[in-house]
Amino acid sequence: MSTSTQRRRVGEYNVTAHVEIDRSAALVWALVADYGNDPQWRRGVSRMLPTPAGEVREGTTTDEAMRLAGQSYHNLGLVTAVQPGAHFEWRTTAGADANGSRTVTPVAQDRCIFRLAVAARVTGRQRVIGPLLAFMLQRNLSSDARRLKVLAESR
């Protein structure tokens, strides 16, 4: 598994994690492209309500409740682009200021690479703890990728 954190502007953090999973890209896509599965593999997510339910498509909206760094967040999101079976992009419309993507790339018939990417921006007083929040976000993304691997490989 690989992870990285980059800071492009003051208060903006770009975080990625990827993991190789010993399952087909189609199976992994089915898990990650259905936001209803998120509480099973994403740390801190207690509720994720996509509209419409099922596989993401451009225009899917989300209502998420989560905790990060001891703080509760209520985020609304929007899926902005989808390449079915392979990649989708999202952005928040309320709550945390973030955008990101999920990508599934086949490397063999029963093996793929899953990649998570998040760009988060902090403003105001949160800028002081921005590096700590970025560290915690990176840690969460890495553990999320590992949990997804375990979930997918148990199917």
Token code pair at residue 76: 């609304």
Average pLDDT over residues 58-63: 98
Average pLDDT over residues 123-133: 70
CATH of the domain at 135: 3.30.530.20
Look at residue 128 and tell me whether its pLDDT is greater than 90. Answer: no
What is the pLDDT confidence band of residue 48, given thresholds at 50, 70 and 90?
very high
Look at residue 27 and tell me whether its pLDDT is greater than 50. Answer: yes
In the chain, the number of structural domains is: 1
Look at residue 8 and tell me whether its pLDDT is greater than 60. Answer: no
Give the pairing type, strands 71-83 and 87-94.
antiparallel
Alpha helices, DSSP H only, in the chain?
25-32, 38-41, 130-153
| pLDDT at residue 102, as a whole number | 98
* Residue for token pair 């909206």: 61
Residue 22's domain spans which residues? 2-153
Beta bridge mates, 67: 72
Average pLDDT over residues 149-154: 98
What is the pLDDT confidence band of residue 7, given thresholds at 50, 70 and 90?
very low
Its sign, for the CA torsion 100, 101, 102, 105, is negative
